[in-house]
């Protein structure tokens, strides 16, 4: 594997599963930094703020700051601010809410011109009903990401935001108007704008073909699929990554 100037790592299933660190990944990232490479973290999971993800990474042994972390929640908040959204109805968790409020966007579940759906562990029939009713009334429908599942500790696979988006979409009889997270290349392009690194010098490391690897293809950079998350079978891969690794530790 050639060396890159910028490594973008997904989190769930790549660096950790739940609160379990995947073998030797903190040491591998430390070695990349010693070589002079830039490290950024990119997650589709909208449940936490960037600061919370940075704190979790540090607690698990990774060297990181809030500025190193990019997420579908923070990117959604930035988009809504730039779009001059007046008010938002959220199907999601506190991290998504905090990121949106930080950008000065009002959260109003009575009258909203946007409905934002991310991972929501407290999803109820009533919440789906309210969301689809607002979409049918004309509110625009934004999905933070479409990951149907995500890997957790103990080898568990749990429902992801894509499952919640599918429920709201089916009830509203309408697909999302906008998708923010991977496989859309929006956040990767923002990382390039912030770091000044070119696509040719970037490697995106992830565990999902449909989000991580497709995102790299859409953005125009190399990719590495690790077999520690959702995708564990190295055969018959579509789309095809640039590299297939047993774990993220193999990037060094």
Same domain, 173 and 80: yes
* Residue 12 per-residue DSSP state: B
Is the pLDDT at 207 greater than 80? The verdict is yes
Of the three residues 125, 144, 179, the one that is the final residue of a domain is: 179
C-alpha span between 186 and 79 (Å, rounded): 10
Active-site annotation holds for 10: yes
Q: What is the pLDDT of residue 230?
A: 84
Indicate whether 20 and 106 sit together in one domain.
no
For the CA atoms of 91, 188, 3, 225, what is the dihedral angle to 10 degrees?
A: 40
Residue 240, by phi and psi: left (phi above 0), alpha (psi -120 to 50) or beta?
Answer: beta
**Three-point CA angle 149, 153, 155, nearest 5°:** 70
- Domain boundary among the residues 179, 197, 227 is at 179
Same domain, 159 and 79: yes
CA dist 113 to 103, 116, 168, 247, Å?
16, 10, 16, 42
Residue where a domain stops, chosen among 135, 158, 179: 179
Q: Examine the residue annotation and report whether 113 is marked as an active-site residue of this protein.
A: no
Number of separate domains in the chain: 2
Domain that holds residue 115: 73-179
Domain containing 231 — which CATH number?
3.40.50.1000
pLDDT-derived band at 151 (thresholds 50, 70, 90) equals: confident
Is the pLDDT at 93 greater than 80, yes or no? Answer: yes
Residue 49 φ then ψ, to 5° = -80, 170
The arithmetic mean of pLDDT across residues 14-28, rounded, is: 94
pLDDT interval class at 110 (50, 70, 90): confident
The confidence band for 187, taking pLDDT boundaries of 50, 70 and 90, is very high
């Amino acid at each position: 594997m050639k060396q890159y100037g910028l490594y973008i790592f997904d989190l769930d299933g790549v660096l950790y599963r739940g609160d379990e660190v995947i073998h030797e990944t903190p040491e591998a990232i430390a070695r990349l930094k010693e070589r002079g490479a830039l490290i950024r973290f990119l997650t589709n999971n909208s449940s936490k703020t960037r600061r919370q993800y940075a704190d979790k990474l540090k607690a698990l042994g990774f060297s990181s700051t809030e500025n190193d972390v990019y997420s579908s929640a923070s990117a959604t908040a930035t988009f809504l601010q730039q779009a001059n959204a007046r008010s938002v109805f959220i199907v999601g968790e506190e991290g998504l809410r905090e990121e949106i409020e930080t950008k000065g966007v009002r959260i109003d579940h009575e009258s909203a011109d946007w409905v934002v759906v991310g991972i929501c562990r407290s999803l109820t029939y009533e919440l789906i009903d309210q969301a689809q009713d607002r979409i049918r009334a004309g509110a625009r429908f934004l999905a933070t990401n479409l990951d149907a599942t995500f890997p957790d500790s103990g080898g568990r696979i749990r429902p992801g935001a894509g499952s919640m988006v599918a429920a709201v979409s089916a009830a509203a009889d309408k697909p999302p108007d906008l998708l923010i997270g991977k496989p859309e290349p929006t956040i990767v392009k923002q990382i390039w704008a912030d770091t000044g690194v070119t696509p040719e010098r970037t490697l995106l490391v992830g565990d999902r073909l449909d989000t991580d690897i497709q995102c790299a293809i859409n953005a125009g950079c190399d990719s590495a699929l690790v077999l520690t998350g959702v995708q564990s079978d190295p055969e018959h891969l579509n789309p095809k990554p640039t590299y297939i690794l047993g774990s993220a530790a193999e990037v060094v």
